[in-house]
Structure 1
Amino acid sequence: MHTVPPARPVTRVAVVAAPVLMALYGGVRLLDGSRDPGPGWLVGHSLLLFAPLLLALERAPGPRRTAGPRVAGRVALGAAFTGLVASLGQIGIDLYVGAVAVDKADQNRLFEAVQSRPGVEPLFYSALPLLFHLGVLALLVGASVGAGRVLRWWSPVLMAVAIVLTAADLAFLPLAAVGQLVALAPLAGFGPGGSRPVAARSARAA
């Protein structure tokens, strides 16, 4: 029997707090003046610094029993780490520009000066940050397939929809955060799935 271990406290906190803070960031962006240098810009971007706790989710599904899934999980985690570091670099740049810019024109000038440097755009704004989302999505897929699955099929689907919404328009961040919360909730023992034996669930379903 494959038993899903109880979720760690940090995982429970991450599952709830990360989407909530992302939703708050999305809400802050909708306020007047939040995209100009000032408190709104700094508060909104600081909320995203909570993202590292999402990496606690890699261990939530429990031990992988075969070499293939273990390797796939490590590759996905490596991708998530790489994307996370790149995303944190982007947040650092945004916070710096928001802190030193005196007005919107100065903000645009500083961004242009930083982003025009070779490698900055793909490293911190396009290619590498995408790996974080793909890595988290891969981890959810791995936890939803096979005999030891601890998630339902809809968890990675909801996460994929949330990623697409965010990529389409940052105005959808609050809605995407709700999708992420529902997708991640079973990993922390909330909702269907939780910290119950998979074999026992299968027996009841039969």
Structure 2
Amino acid sequence: MTSSGRDFLVAPVLFGAYGVIRILDGLDDVRGPGLAWTAGHLCFLAGLVFFVRGFATMRTLAGRRDRWARAGLALGVVGAVALTVQFGADVVTGLLADDHADMARLSDDFGSLPGVELAFYAVGPMLFFVGQIVLTLRLYALRRLPVWAPCLVFATALMPFATKDLIPLGALFLLLAYAPLARSSSADRTAATRA
């Protein structure tokens, strides 16, 4: 398996690790601050790096000149940046806060800054999932992914709206969706680069 193929495995695993740690952190009905809060968020931030690398590989598989793939990559990267700011702020507030109430106050202070709520909480993070859906749909159209792959990515994007406790299940869905890409050979990637 190539290093780009591993990105499709590592990213969902780190996403799932965040989800599991988040559930464990909430067993006492209070999430953060503390080791679990920080560790979970760092898992998610590390996962974003592998997701973005995977998005770049998907764009390459579709062909560097493919407009849909370029749009998907751009949307996914913008969404990943928004999530990086959001989760980075959560890590910082968790490290600065003495207790949960203090952390909530610091988080509210950040969220109340002009444009922050819209860019880093409401709209920006959704682009991460929109980009994934566009990329997987494009690869399905090019017969590089089965039809169920974009369906699983779409289902994962909807899960947090029901409950964030479904994040580990969403991570499993992403593992299944990206499994065909994880098995892609470097020869396939080279051939797509020349297209």
Global fold match (TM > 0.5): yes
Counterpart in the other structure of 2:44: 48
Report the 3-state secondary structure (helix = DSSP H, G, I; strand = E; otherwise coil) of the residue aligned with 2:140.
coil
Report the 3-state secondary structure (helix = DSSP H, G, I; strand = E; otherwise coil) of the residue aligned with 2:31.
coil
For 1:79, the aligned partner's letter is L
Q: 8 Å contact 1:83–1:128 — kept in the other structure? A: yes
For 2:163, the aligned partner's letter is D
Cα distance, 1:63 vs structure 2 = 4.8
Q: Structure 1 residues 175-184 or 29-38, which shifts more?
A: 29-38
Counterpart in the other structure of 1:176: 170
TM-score (norm 1): 0.81
Counterpart in the other structure of 1:37: 33
Could you report, residue by residue, the CA deviation over 1:88-143 in whole angstroms, capped at 9, with x for unpaired residues?
A: 00011000000000011111111111111111101111101110110011000000
Flag structure 1 segments of 5+ consecutive residues without an equivalent.
Answer: 1-6, 198-206
Cα distance, 1:85 vs structure 2 = 0.6
> Where do 4+ consecutive residues of structure 1 move more than 6 Å?
none
Counterpart in the other structure of 2:192: none
Q: How many residues align?
A: 181
Q: Write the distance in 2 (CA, Å) between the matches of 1:17 and 1:57.
A: 10
| Counterpart among 13, 16, 21 of residue 14 in structure 2 | 21
TM-score (norm 2): 0.86
Counterpart in the other structure of 2:191: none
Q: Write the distance in 1 (CA, Å) between the matches of 2:31 and 2:163.
A: 15
Q: Write the distance in 2 (CA, Å) between the matches of 1:127 and 1:13.
A: 29
Q: Write the distance in 2 (CA, Å) between the matches of 1:94 and 1:36.
A: 9
Counterpart in the other structure of 1:3: none
CA separation of 1:139/1:110 partners in 2, compared to 1, >3 Å: closer, same or farther?
same
Q: Write the distance in 2 (CA, Å) between the matches of 1:113 and 1:12.
A: 40
For 1:47, the aligned partner's letter is C
Q: Which has the larger radius of gyration?
A: 1
For 2:77, the aligned partner's letter is F
| Counterpart among 67, 85, 89 of residue 85 in structure 2 | 89
Q: 8 Å contact 1:57–1:187 — kept in the other structure? A: no
Q: 8 Å contact 2:10–2:50 — kept in the other structure? A: no
| Counterpart among 136, 140, 147 of residue 153 in structure 1 | 147
Counterpart in the other structure of 2:193: none
1:12 aligns with 2:11: no
Answer 1 or 2: which has greater helix percent.
Answer: 2
Q: 8 Å contact 2:97–2:103 — kept in the other structure? A: yes
Cα distance, 1:166 vs structure 2 = 2.4
Counterpart in the other structure of 1:200: none
Cα distance, 1:21 vs structure 2 = 1.3
Could you report, residue by residue, the CA deviation over 1:142-191 in whole angstroms, capped at 9, with x for unpaired residues?
A: 0001xx421110000011111111232110011111001000110111xx
CA separation of 1:63/1:23 partners in 2, compared to 1, >3 Å: closer, same or farther?
closer
Could you report, residue by residue, the CA deviation over 1:7-44 in whole angstroms, capped at 9, with x for unpaired residues?
A: 741x2222111111111111111123571211111001
| Counterpart among 182, 185, 191 of residue 179 in structure 2 | 185
